Structure 1
Amino acid sequence: MADKPVRADKATAVAELTEHFRDSGATVLTEYRGLTVSQITELRVKLGKETTYSVAKNTLAKRAAADAGLSLDDALFAGPTAFAFVGGDVVEAAKSLRDFAKAHPALVIKGGVFEGKGLTKEEVSKLADLESREVLLAKLAGAMKANLSKAAATFQAPLTQTARLAAALQEKREQQDGAAAA
C-alpha cells in the first residue's frame, strides 16, 4: 500500500514534465553535476522568467518525453540531468546556457529538442550563435525599408525624366523662337 502514493507522485511528475515538453518552444538537456545551489540559482536568473530550469529523474523524464511524442537519444538521459524548458526566445536561452557553461565548466550541454526534433550539443551551440529574434526582425525591417525606398525611387524616376524632358523641350522651343525672331 505504501507504493500507491509514490506511484501517484511519479505519475504527477511525469504529467508535469510531459506538459513542459509540449508547451516549450525548445528544451535543452544539461548535466549540472558540480554546480552549487547558488550557481544553479544564478543560471535560472540568467535564463529569465520564460524558461524553467529543473532537475528530474531520467526515467521519469524519458517517459514524459515519450508521452509528449518526442523520440530522444537515450544517451541524453545518462547521468544527472536538468532540463531548460524554453518558453520565450530559444536563441537567447541557448546563448545564456552556452555563456554560463563557458563561465562554469561544470555545466555540460548534452543536447535538446527544438520543434519536436532532437538536437545534438553542436546544434544547440549553432542555435546560440544565431542572432536574437529582435535583431533578425530589425534587419528584416531595414531590408524591407530599403526595398521600399528603391521602389519609390523607381516609381518616381519616370516622372523625374518626364519633367526633365519637358524642361529641355521648352528650352529648345525658346531657343528656336529666339532664333526665328532675330
Structure 2
Amino acid sequence: MSEATIALKAQQVEEVADKFKQSASAIVVDVRGLTVAESTELRAALRQEGVQLKVIKNKILTRAVDEADLSDMKDLFAGPSAVAFSSEDPIAPARVLKKFADSIEALEIKGGVIDGHVATLEEIQKIASLPDRDGLLSMLLSTLQAPIRNVAYAVNAVKDAKEEEPESASESSDSDSNDEA
C-alpha cells in the first residue's frame, strides 16, 4: 500500500473517531437489502431530525472506535455497516431507525453509543420508545403545572362553596318567614 493511501486511511480513521467523540449518539445499522427508495426515505427522515447516515468500512470503524475509546463497539462491525450520527438529540437516530426497522425487515439495528456509553440493541430499543425532546419538555411542564392547577381548582371550589352559603342562608330565612305568615 502506498504512503498516500495509508495517509488517506489514517485521515478517514481520525475523522470517524472525531465524529464518534463529538456525537451525542451513534447507532450502527446493517442496511444491506434496502431498496434505493427505502434508503432515500430513511436518509431523508434522518436528515430531518439532524442525523447523518454514513456507510463506512469496518476496518476504518474498528480503528476509529479504538481511537475514540469505544473498543466495546468492535463486535458490531460484522458485515456491511452504516452509522447514524447525531450531534444534538441522542434519541433521534434510535427513534427514526427503530421506526424504519419495524416496517422494513432489511434494516437491522446492531447497537451503538449514546452519550459516551456503549448501548446494546435492547437499550436502544428502550431509548427509541422515548418521546422526542419537545415531547419530554411538554411532559415535564405538565408535571410541574399539575400542583399549581390543583391548588387553583381547590381555591375555586372553596370560592364557589362560599358563594353558595349566603344563598342557602337567605333561602332558609325566606322559608322561615313564610312559615310564620
Give the SS at the match of 2:69.
coil
Who is 1:84 aligned against?
A: 84
Indicate conservation of the 8 Å contact 1:53/1:84, yes or no: yes
- 1:83 to partner: Cα distance: 0.3
1:151–1:69 Cα change, 3 Å: farther
Q: Flag structure 2 segments of 5+ consecutive residues without an equivalent.
A: 163-181
Who is 2:97 aligned against?
A: 97
Indicate conservation of the 8 Å contact 1:31/1:81, yes or no: yes
Give the SS at the match of 1:88.
coil
Q: Flag structure 1 segments of 5+ consecutive residues without an equivalent.
A: 165-182
Indicate conservation of the 8 Å contact 1:71/1:118, yes or no: no
User: Identity of counterpart residues, as a percentage?
Assistant: 37
Q: Distance in 2 between matches of 1:69 and 1:136?
A: 30
- 1:104 to partner: Cα distance: 1.7
Larger displacement relative to structure 2 (92-101 or 31-40): 31-40
Q: Deviations over 1:96-144 (max 9, x none)?
A: 1011112221111000101111111111111111122211111111111
What is the number of residues matched between the two proteins?
Answer: 161
Q: TM-score, normalised by structure 1?
A: 0.77
- 1:146 to partner: Cα distance: 1.9
Residue identity matched to 1:30: V
Aligned-pair Cα RMSD in Å: 2.4
Who is 2:28 aligned against?
A: 29
Q: Distance in 1 between matches of 2:68 and 2:78?
A: 20
Residue identity matched to 1:125: Q
Q: Distance in 1 between matches of 2:96 and 2:63?
A: 27
Who is 1:68 aligned against?
A: 68
